[in-house]
Each structure stands twice: as C-alpha cells, then as structure tokens.
Chains A and B, each alone.
Chain A
C-alpha cells in the first residue's frame, strides 16, 4: 500500500529525514518511535503533503501511484488520512459543516452521491458514540475551545467518518489522560481491518499497550535504525532510546 524508498527531506534547508525506507501493507499496523527531533512527525507530515517541507531525494508510492506528485487534498480524497499532532482551530467554521464537506468531497471523488443532512446526521450519531463525542462538539467551530483530549478525539472521529485506506496518527497520545487514551485507542482498534493500514507515530510505548502494532520502527536522526515486532517497543520503554542512538 505504502512504499517509501530512500526519502530525504529538508525544512528551511535543514536536513531532517536522511534516507527513510519503509514498506506498509494493507491490514498492518506499524509504530514509528523515536526520541524528540528524530523526524517522526516530519515523516507523518510529509506523507500528508505539508507545504513547509522539501523532498530532496527518494520516492513514495501509495497504492501504486507517486504520492509526492499529489496535492494534499488529492491524497486525502484517495484515502490517506493524518491525525494531526496539533489539530488546528478554525474560527467561524462549524464542526458538523466541516465534517460534511470533508465527507462529501471524498464521496464525490469516489463517484458516490453526496449525503443529505438526514443521512449525515445518522452517520454522525453512529460514529460519535464510539468516541464519546458530545453533540455540543459538533455545533462548535472546528477545534475552537476544545480541550486537548477533545481535539484528539475529534481527529479520530474524523478518521472514523472518512474511513481512510491509510491512517497516520501523529502523536495522537500526547497530552491525553488514561481515560481519553483508552477512548482514542478503542476508536482506532475499531478501524483495524484487512483493507486498511495504520501508522502510529509516538514517543511513548504507552499507546501501544492499547493499539498493538505488528511492526515497530525506531527513528533516529532521520533514519530508521531498528525495526522489529511489538516487543521492540517494550524494550524501548525499559531501556530508553540511548542504547539505539549509541549503536
């Protein structure tokens, strides 16, 4: 589904990613771990098409297509979803209106009819239960005045609505208390499917107790320095990142 080859990325002329190779198949859950500044979030944001990064070398293939040649919105409509580490507050744009616009943008792209208000509200009711989304969160402006936990729940709620083929979660666990973490993890686990791949970017192993990965990769100084199964995450929790960076 996703094939990254020798990816080099700079931001403001500073090299951040220095040769990433990663292969993700449908049905798999991959965890990307690493210390602060190792390039984890950059990788997530480059895959989503954030304009502040420059790809200087390498290829990314998504579903057989050149991902890097696609606009961010085209990537989204083609089924790529990134849950933001810092979801953006958008004053004046009603959250429900935004969700409907996003959902219908994708449906239109797939050649499906747009959902009418009734169908949309029904879908919202169904999905909002899973993530304990309060109705008031839908009538407010997008992320405006949301608590940290509400913002992250709103991200996973969007993911549940948009049903992406490839989901990238950028530090979705940061700033969550244990109850919120469980809600978010439940939401993600409910999305696990043989057709869908999930890439979880995280600093801490804690989230991986609830979203159990098939593969764990450790990023250091812009390269994947170690890959393994879920036991690698546990070892990292026990020993820290020092032994890998030193290696």
Chain B
C-alpha cells in the first residue's frame, strides 16, 4: 500500500524527530509507542473498530507539532466554568503555570503538570502511567504515547474529599503555524475512600484546523467516588481523538459524562474496567453535530468481578448531513455473577440527510446476570408534538421543548452547577442555529 505508507511518512519522520528526555521507563514506553504506531499506521474503514469512521482527512493533513504558546487569561474567557475553581490549563499540550490555579487544596492533594510529576515523582507516576492506555491495537493511543511528555495530573491521597470541582482545560492555538497536533495526557489517581469531581474541557480557536489526540487514565481506589466530565468543544474544523480508560476497584463509583459539541471528526473511546466487587459505573453521553461533521462514540464496560451495576445512556442530536456512530460494548466475565448492566442509545435526526450507525455488543460469559440494551433512532415524536400544540404551544415552542427535554435527561445529571449552565447555553445556542437552518431548508 504505497499511498498509505506515503501518508504515514511525515508522521514517522516526526516520531523520529520527537524530543527525548525524562526517565528511562518513559523513554522505553515512548519508543514502544512509536514502534507500534509505525506498524499499525492509521486505522482504515476495513478495521472493524473504525468501520464507519474514516480518518483519511487526518492522515492526509500535514500536521506540525503544536508550538509552545503563552496565552493570557482573557483568551480563556467563556471556557472556564468558574473563576474560583481549581484548574489545570494545558496549552498546545504543555502545562501553563500562569493560567492554572493549583493551590488551596486539601492537604496531600496534588494537581498540576504531568510533566513535572514525571520529573519529580517518577516512581509514583510510573506505577500508573500507561497501565490502562494500552496500545497494541490502538494506533492513536500508540501515537499519543510516542509523544507523551506533559498534560494534567490529579493525585488524591486516601480518605480525602475534595469539595470544589477541578477543571482540566486543554486549549489548542495554532497561531500562524497552520495545522498543528497536540497529544495531551491526563493521569488521575483517586486513592481509596476519596471523593472528587473532575471536568476535562477541550477547546480551540474557532476556525483553526488542528488535531487533539488525547489520552486519559483514571484509577479509582476502593470506595473512591469520582464524578468525571469530558466536554469537547473544539473548533468545527478541528479533529479530536480521545481515549478514556478507567480502572475501578472494589466498591468504587465512577460516573463519566461526555459532551461532544465541536470538531469536524470526533472519536471518543471510553473504557471502564469494573475490577472489584460492588464497583458501580455510569457512562453517559450527549452529542450534537451538524453540517458534514462526524461523531463516533465507542464505549466498553468490562465487568470483571461480581455484583457490579453499570448504567449507560448515550443521546445524540444530528442535523444537516451529520453522521454519528455509537458502539457500546459490554463484557461480562465468567466471575462477574450478579452483574446488572443497562445500556440505552437514542438519536434524534433533525434532517433527512443525517444518519447514525449504532451497535450494541454484548459478550456474556457468566450465567446469573441482567443485561439490557435498547436503541431508538428517529424524528421528533409526532404524537407528542400534536399533544403540545393541542394545548396551545406553537409548532416551534413544542418542538424546542421536546428537543430540550431529550437533551435534558443527560444535562440534568451534571453535578457541577456552573458547568451545567454553560453546557445548556452552548448546546441550546447551537441547537437554535441548527433548527433555524432546518426550518430554512
């Protein structure tokens, strides 16, 4: 395949030119990532995991490594959900100390630069880094690993409750440098009996073309409670590939909510391993796409131990010629008796040209389990629309009420009030534009 090799060549060259440094274990890991990516190359639609998502536009773009860039506080306006909250700001893949607010935390809690943690707490980082984000078959994770050097980290020592939410903000700004790529990395270690809320936000300069290839690893100790949000509001010309891997110990509770509102092509992988009895996992998602955009959500909940409930609700609203993919895999291992897994996937198509490919994938090896899944794709419910109109609401009022109700099921579960408010505003503003476009058509 000479064309593929040709397309890959600039990436391989970039891999060879990537800067060295850091502890030996990281150097080795990065070398393995580079090697693996060189072997795998970019996935194609012949790859079952990428059947409906072509990354050819990414492979065809000549990205350069995102340069170091200093932003002022005003550049972040609209992206911070609270002025006062703890935050780690990462610009073009590099920790930004002047924009971050990492003080005032309970004793022992550390948030901040992953790069610094690698340098200063190498042994602790080495225990976790790369353990979940394996890349034998995942080309983008291999690529991220090859370039891994910085990002955000959160360490919570045993028994600590962090009341204030923590925002991890990732900003891309190509400036005048043309298409850039960043490979930010997140490492969260929530030790036993901890409690914390963390929101990852990915944004970029509107109109710019860039690639964010992010990898997040989250470890929950026994009885840890972690409320996680991923908000993707990249430029609509940008590409976003994100992998989230979470490891749940006994009786821990992990809730993750994904909001995909931007990017031309977005692929989100969310994987959770329920690796201790009584662990509970929620993976919810809400995505909105219009124009020619593509949103691909792949989730995998791995029930490795008994007595674990998991809940999953993904919802999408698609206009224009937008396409979506939802692949929800649930694995129930032989030992995972009394598993209770529930998955729901719904999409609302606002235009005749929008489409979704949806696939639940259940692999069950235990015999005493309860697993349910359901998918519903469609237009706005005509009966509900008529019912509301018969009570005096105009067509537009009734339709908007129904669409807001559809999204509300996911939005209402956001436990960080200012974040929910910001999401509602952004989502409804975008919806209003899509609906105005649909009405004009």
A contact residues vs B (CB 8 Å cutoff): 48-51, 71-73, 75-77, 82, 84, 87-88, 90-93, 98, 101-102, 105-106, 109, 141-142, 158, 162
Classify the secondary structure of B's interface with A.
helix
Residues on B with beta carbons closer than 8 Å to the beta carbon of A158? 391
Mask of B195-215 contacts with A, CB within 8 angstroms, 1/0: 000000000000000000000
A198 smallest CB distance to B (angstroms): 17
Q: What range describes how many residues of B lie at the interface? A: 20 to 34
CA separation between A74 and B406, bound complex, in Å? 25
The chain B residue with its CB closest to the CB of A101 is B393
Q: Are A162 and B392 in contact (CB-based, < 8 A)?
A: yes
B281 smallest CB distance to A (angstroms): 23
CA separation between A73 and B389, bound complex, in Å? 5
Q: Are B392 and A91 in contact (CB-based, < 8 A)?
A: no
Q: Are B405 and A91 in contact (CB-based, < 8 A)?
A: yes
CA separation between A75 and B390, bound complex, in Å? 8
Q: Are A72 and B390 in contact (CB-based, < 8 A)?
A: yes
Q: Are B387 and A88 in contact (CB-based, < 8 A)?
A: yes
Residues on A with beta carbons closer than 8 Å to the beta carbon of B405? 90-93, 141
The chain A residue with its CB closest to the CB of B396 is A73
Residues on B with beta carbons closer than 8 Å to the beta carbon of A49? 389-390
Asked if B119 is an interface residue, CB under 8 A from chain A, the answer is no
27 contacts between A and B (CB under 8 A): A49-B389, A49-B390, A50-B386, A72-B386, A72-B390, A75-B390, A76-B390, A87-B387, A88-B384, A88-B386, A90-B384, A90-B387, A90-B388, A91-B405, A91-B409, A92-B406, A92-B408, A93-B402, A93-B405, A101-B393, A102-B388, A102-B391, A102-B392, A105-B394, A109-B392, A141-B405, A158-B391
8 Å CB interface, B408-437 against A = 408-409
B contact residues vs A (CB 8 Å cutoff): 381-384, 386-395, 397-398, 401-402, 404-406, 408-409
CA separation between A162 and B394, bound complex, in Å? 16
Residues on A with beta carbons closer than 8 Å to the beta carbon of B387? 84, 87-88, 90, 142
Residues on A with beta carbons closer than 8 Å to the beta carbon of B406? 92
Contact A73 to B393, CB < 8 A, known contacts A88-B387, A90-B384, A101-B401: yes
Q: Specify which of B381, B393, B397, B404 lies most central, judged by the most chain A CB atoms within 10 Å of its CB.
A: B393
Q: Are B401 and A73 in contact (CB-based, < 8 A)?
A: no
The chain B residue with its CB closest to the CB of A92 is B405
A58 smallest CB distance to B (angstroms): 21
Q: Are B402 and A90 in contact (CB-based, < 8 A)?
A: yes
The chain B residue with its CB closest to the CB of A104 is B392
Residues on B with beta carbons closer than 8 Å to the beta carbon of A88? 381, 383-384, 386-387
CA separation between A146 and B397, bound complex, in Å? 24
Q: Are B402 and A162 in contact (CB-based, < 8 A)?
A: no
B207 smallest CB distance to A (angstroms): 34
Task: List the 3 closest A-B pairs by CB distance, nearest first.
Answer: A92-B405, A105-B392, A76-B392
Q: Are A73 and B395 in contact (CB-based, < 8 A)?
A: yes
B292 smallest CB distance to A (angstroms): 29
Q: Are A73 and B392 in contact (CB-based, < 8 A)?
A: yes
A215 smallest CB distance to B (angstroms): 25
A201 smallest CB distance to B (angstroms): 15
Residues on B with beta carbons closer than 8 Å to the beta carbon of A91? 405, 409
A167 smallest CB distance to B (angstroms): 12
CA separation between A72 and B397, bound complex, in Å? 13
